[in-house]
């Protein structure tokens, strides 16, 4: 039977529409599993449900993602064209934190107060980005989570002194500071009436070898409250320090930091140990004025700090550089300790 041109045209249009409808549905079926969210109603395959919940979790976790743009695709027989176009614009959320930020934790802005505030002039502690504390048993029970929230990004914790004394709070503080997200290290108070080698052995015996910890510290100062009244010559001081530091570095893989105060530094450490990092006490002036020409990594600027999380006073410190410098320095310490 011969069909009229009009009938042929009508049949062709119907066939074409059917193909387009089938193709459109197939295309949408291919893309639906990766873009479906929990807002789709009606029964869904299990694998689609899982992807939907995962996508919804990502939306809720990222305040920068606009939930409106992550509209769900309806089943193929109920296609919402604006929603399809919106889905095409969606890209996976980009993490806002850089890898090193996630690794070392965000730097908290310091909120410490001081019982005896000092005017440091143009170069003051508040100009530095990374603040921290040092503690011993004298601080008693510490709420490390609260202390961290107040701006303690790192903590040096008293571990040992001499060759037979362990700070009774060391192990507890060591665990809890780490759990609260602080970078922490241990320090040893050097005793001038014991051999340097025996003191290093005592420190090694009590302080865990952790490549993620800050470098160990040797605390050298004159202590008028100590039972040991010896004040060795400069040559003896330097020799004993070198013995202790060599043994510590060989064990932990990190070069120790030298903590000191102005009087001891003036008597013994000027122009000494140029290749060692220093932690300097200067509670009335900037270290550049108290220790001219000496580079430093940490500055202890107060012994009368006040903070939530600690009863009484606490020592306050800053790191010498920016946030970026801090993360680079931490990374370097970890690489050295791991080798």
Q: Which residues are catalytic?
A: 134, 221
Beta bridge partners of 154: 132, 183
Q: What is the DSSP string of 184-202?
A: EEEEEE--TTS-HHHHHHH
Between strands 314-319 and 131-135, the pairing is: antiparallel
Q: What is the C-alpha separation between 1 and 258, in angstroms, rounded?
A: 105
- 3-state SS string for 122-141: CCCHHHCCCEEEEECHHHCC
Among candidates 1, 301, 309, 278, which has minimal Cα distance to 131?
Answer: 301
Task: Give the phi and the psi of residue 131 in degrees, each rounded to 5.
Answer: -110, 155
Q: Is 34 helix (H, G, I), strand (E, B) or coil?
A: helix
């Amino acid at each position: 039977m011969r069909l009229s041109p009009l009938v042929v045209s009508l049949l062709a249009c119907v066939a074409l529409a059917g193909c387009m409808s089938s193709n459109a549905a197939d295309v949408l079926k291919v893309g639906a599993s990766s873009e479906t969210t929990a807002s789709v109603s009606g029964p869904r395959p299990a694998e689609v449900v899982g992807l939907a919940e995962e996508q919804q979790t990502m939306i809720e976790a990222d305040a920068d993602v606009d939930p409106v743009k992550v509209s769900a695709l309806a089943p193929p027989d109920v296609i919402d064209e604006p929603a399809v176009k919106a889905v095409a614009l969606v890209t996976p959320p980009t993490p806002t934190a850089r890898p090193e930020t996630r690794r070392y934790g965000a730097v908290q802005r310091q909120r410490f107060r001081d019982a005896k505030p000092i005017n440091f002039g143009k170069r003051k502690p508040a100009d530095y980005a990374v603040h921290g504390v040092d503690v011993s048993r004298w601080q008693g029970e510490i709420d490390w989570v609260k202390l961290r929230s107040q701006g303690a990004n790192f903590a040096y914790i008293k571990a040992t002194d001499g060759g037979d004394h362990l700070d009774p709070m060391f192990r507890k503080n060591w665990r809890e500071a780490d759990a609260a997200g602080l970078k922490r290290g241990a320090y040893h108070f050097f005793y001038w009436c014991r051999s340097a080698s025996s003191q290093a052995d005592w420190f090694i015996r009590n302080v865990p070898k952790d490549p993620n910890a800050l470098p160990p510290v040797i605390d050298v100062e004159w202590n008028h409250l100590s039972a040991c009244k010896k004040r060795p010559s400069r040559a003896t001081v330097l020799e004993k320090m070198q013995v202790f530091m060599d043994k510590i570095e060989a064990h932990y893989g990190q070069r120790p930091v030298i903590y000191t105060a102005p009087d001891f530094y003036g008597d013994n450490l000027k122009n000494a140990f140029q290749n060692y990092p220093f932690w300097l006490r200067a509670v009335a002036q900037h270290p550049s004025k108290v220790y001219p020409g000496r580079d430093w990594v940490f500055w202890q600027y107060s012994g009368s700090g006040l903070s939530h999380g600690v009863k009484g006073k606490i020592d306050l410190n800053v790191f010498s550089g920016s946030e970026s410098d801090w993360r680079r320095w931490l990374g370097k310490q970890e690489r050295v300790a791991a080798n």
